């Protein structure tokens, strides 16, 4: 990483660490993520002890389905009530339900009581996540802090998949799954205390308009979620989503393929528990360690997949990911050594993440932009149902044919699914338009170049080319800011109140227009072409979503704006 970029990253990270509200929210979210993943492993182990192998899948389904239904209600709460109150309520409910579950397990209450507590905890988790993400813009005082907060929160959530199961593995070496829930209740209680009195009044970042006193945004065009009264009901959203998928064959193929991946994920959640307990003999702590290995592999897979996405042909990426994940499942039942098994699970996690990211990128390419949100919502719903089905079916297969055979059968699902979908996937690769020219230019832009490939491709796909003749005005001082522009060829003259400030001659990748977008002020200078020029125009919503959702891009944006401070008029 260049020294300048490293310095910018450290600077924006310090900005968040200096904000008491953001610091507390991030620590609370880290604890939350660890509790979520750690207790998921613990409840599956408890189900095995209480109900046997078939009970593992049944308990997983009992948790997944109510949580999926409650997630829709949770988004309404996040919109209609003060976000800090919703977040506090979510953490408090997790604390109570997790503690009750732990007490039920340790005290030997009927298993149904423990499962009911776990279901309540799972539903509470669905309440926390939308409230957390909706609250961040109300805590960030500047777009720079929001950028950093989004990046840190994403990293924190990813680390939960590793830290939670690892902590569970350590606890399970000396105690029962009930102790994991007890520790989880303590972590959730700490999260509750951290967000109990967040100072959001009078603050908060809003792109347009202002936040009200209770932390809800006023105005239509804000960083926050749409107003609750504009949100359609579940039945309407479902109908829209089904129609959006039904009319697009390519979209259906990709959605069903990703649903098959979710089926395998649900199945392997159960199979890894059975593998640890029945084949490897490594006990409850070993089962949690396998979960941590999968989380570690997913982190590595995310890094690897970013280097693959952005290329024209993604069908081979899906095939490789399916073969890696499926192959790992098929050989696990033949490996007697726990350490080697953990390594194989980690490798499988790499393939799973590559398949997921590659599939979502193809979906982004083929879906109608106007219906993409509906399609993604349908994918999440189908994914949860597929996970539940995998969790329910695989114990039956394992009981009838054995764990190794069940692993082998599950391992075949993804390669066969990609094989069956190969003709349409290859056709998509041949006909899809990858914004190669746009991507090449944006990689030269200082602000947008740090974006990961999937996000950069999304920005490039939505951008539009403009051709300017000498003397054409691209940006006029005093106008409202609606786009960010990147120069591909030609030259700019930048002036303020008739005084020339800068000449950008043949400066490929030179971007202009960020100040008005970031600061929410009128254009601070006039930009005109001095020779025939070609520029790439990026709409305001796409630009702001990109730079506020990525730490390094946001840092680069504000460094650029600060460097041009003489050009900027005071807001």
Give tens-digit pLDDT for 474-516.
Answer: 999 999 989 999 999 999 999 988 888 888 777 888 999 888 8
For 163-229, give the DSSP string: HHHHHHHHHHTTS-HHHHHHHHHHHHHHHHHHTTT---TT----SSS-B-TTSPBPSSSSSSPPPGG
Span of 194-208, 258-272, 283-297 with lowest mean pLDDT:
194-208
Pick the most confident of 5-14, 318-327, 456-465: 318-327
Domains observed in the chain: 19-147+176-201 (1.20.1250.20), 233-434 (1.20.1250.20), 436-567 (2.60.120.10)
Q: What is the pLDDT of residues 336-354, one digit of tens each?
A: 899 999 999 999 999 998 8
pLDDT of residue 383: 85
**What does the DSSP 8-state code read for residue 508?**
T
Could you identify the residue written with the tokens 């005290």? 107
User: What H or E segment, with its residue span, contains residue 340?
Assistant: helix 338-366
Phi, psi dihedrals of residue 300, rounded to the nearest 5°: -65, -40
Q: For the residues 103-114, what does the mean pLDDT come to?
A: 95
Cβ-Cβ contacts under 8 Å for 89 (sequence gap 6 or more): 127
Beta bridge partners of 502: 494
Q: Note the pLDDT of residue 214.
A: 41
Which of 315 and 210 is assigned the larger pLDDT? 315
- pLDDT of 14 reads 65
Mean residue pLDDT of the chain comes to 81
Residues 144-175: pLDDT tens digits?
555 556 656 666 777 888 899 999 999 999 99
Output the pLDDT for position 321.
Answer: 93
Residue from 32, 136, 155 nearest 94 by CA: 32
Burial-class residue 323 by CB neighbours within 10 Å (0-12, 13-18, 19+).
middle
Specify whether the CB–CB gap between 168 and 38 falls below 8 A: yes
**C-alpha neighbours within 13 Å on the C-beta side of residue 491:** 10
Cβ count near 555 (within 10 Å): 27
- The answer to which of 22-26, 206-210, 303-307, 562-566 has the lowest mean pLDDT is 206-210
What token pair was written down for 438?
A: 């746009």
Residue 484, classed as helix, strand or coil, is strand
Which element (helix H / strand E) includes 487? strand 483-489
**pLDDT tens-digit map of 425-479:** 999 888 877 787 888 898 888 888 877 666 777 788 889 999 999 999 999 999 9
Higher pLDDT: 137 or 113? It is 113
pLDDT range class, residue 247, cuts 50, 70, 90 = low
**Cα distance between residue 71 and residue 126, in whole Å:** 5
Instruction: State the pLDDT at residue 5.
Output: 42
pLDDT for position 89: 92
Say if residue 563 is exposed, middle or buried (CB neighbours under 10 Å; 0-12, 13-18, 19+).
exposed
CA 325-329-334 angle, 5° bins = 140
Q: Of the given ranges (188-202, 238-252, 360-374), which has the lowest mean pLDDT?
A: 238-252
Comparison of pLDDT for 366 and 305, the residue scoring more = 366
CA distances from 77 to 63, 88, 191, 228, 457 (A): 21, 12, 19, 9, 33
Position 248 pLDDT exceeds 60: yes
pLDDT band at 227 (very low <50, low <70, confident <90, very high): very low
Counted residue by residue, the chain has a size of 571
């Amino acid at each position: 990483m260049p020294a300048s970029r490293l310095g910018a990253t450290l600077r924006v990270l310090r900005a968040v660490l200096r904000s008491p509200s953001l610091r507390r929210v991030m620590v609370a979210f880290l604890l939350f993520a660890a509790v979520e993943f750690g207790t998921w492993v613990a409840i599956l182990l408890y189900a095995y002890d209480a109900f046997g192998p078939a009970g593992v899948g049944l308990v997983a389904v009992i948790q997944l389905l109510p949580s999926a239904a409650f997630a829709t209600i949770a988004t309404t709460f996040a919109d209609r009530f003060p976000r800090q109150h919703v977040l506090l309520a979510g953490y408090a409910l997790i604390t109570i339900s997790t503690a009750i579950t732990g007490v039920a397990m340790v005290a030997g209450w009927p298993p149904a009581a423990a499962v009911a507590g776990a279901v309540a905890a799972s539903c509470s988790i669905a309440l926390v996540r939308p409230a957390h993400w909706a609250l961040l813009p109300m805590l960030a005082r500047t777009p720079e802090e929001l950028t950093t907060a989004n990046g840190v929160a994403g990293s924190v959530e990813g680390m939960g998949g590793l830290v939670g199961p690892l902590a569970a593995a350590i606890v399970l070496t000396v105690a029962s799954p009930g102790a994991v829930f007890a520790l989880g209740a303590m972590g959730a209680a700490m999260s509750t205390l951290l967000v109990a009195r967040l100072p959001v009044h009078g603050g908060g970042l809003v792109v347009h308009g202002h936040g009200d006193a209770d932390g809800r945004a006023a105005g239509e065009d804000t960083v926050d979620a749409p107003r609750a009264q504009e949100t359609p009901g579940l039945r309407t959203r479902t109908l829209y989503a089904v129609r959006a998928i039904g009319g697009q064959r390519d979209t259906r193929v990709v959605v069903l393929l990703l649903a098959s991946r979710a089926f395998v994920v649900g199945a392997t959640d159960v199979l890894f528990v059975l593998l640890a307990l029945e084949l490897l003999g490594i006990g409850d702590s070993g089962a949690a360690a396998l979960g941590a290995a999968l989380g570690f592999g997913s982190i590595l897979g995310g890094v690897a997949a970013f280097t693959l996405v952005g290329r024209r042909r993604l069908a081979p990426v899906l095939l490789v990911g399916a073969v890696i994940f499926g192959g790992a499942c098929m050989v696990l039942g033949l490996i007697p050594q726990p350490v080697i098994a953990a390594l194989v699970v980690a490798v499988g996690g790499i393939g799973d993440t590559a398949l997921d990211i590659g599939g979502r990128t193809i979906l982004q390419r083929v879906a109608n932009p106007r219906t993409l949100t509906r399609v993604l919502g349908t994918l999440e719903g189908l994914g949860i149902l597929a996970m539940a089905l995998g969790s329910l079916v695989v114990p039956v297969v394992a009981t009838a044919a054995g764990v190794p055979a069940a692993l082998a059968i599950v391992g075949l699902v993804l390669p066969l699914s990609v094989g069956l979908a190969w003709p349409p996937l290859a056709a998509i690769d041949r006909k899809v338009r990858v914004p190669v020219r746009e991507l090449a230019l944006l990689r030269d832009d200082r602000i947008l170049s740090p974006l990961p490939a999937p996000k950069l491709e999304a920005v490039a796909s939505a951008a539009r080319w403009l051709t300017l003749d000498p003397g054409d005005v691209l940006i006029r001082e005093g106008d409202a800011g609606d786009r960010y522009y990147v120069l591909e060829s030609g030259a700019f003259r930048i002036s303020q109140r008739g005084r020339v400030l800068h000449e950008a001659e043949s400066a490929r990748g030179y971007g202009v227009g960020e100040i008005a977008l970031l600061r929410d002020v009128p254009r601070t200078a006039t930009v005109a072409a001095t020779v025939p020029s070609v520029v790439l125009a990026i709409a305001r919503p796409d630009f702001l979503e990109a730079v506020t959702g990525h730490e390094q891009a946001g840092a680069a944006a504000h460094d650029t704006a600060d460097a041009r401070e003489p050009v900027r008029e005071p807001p």
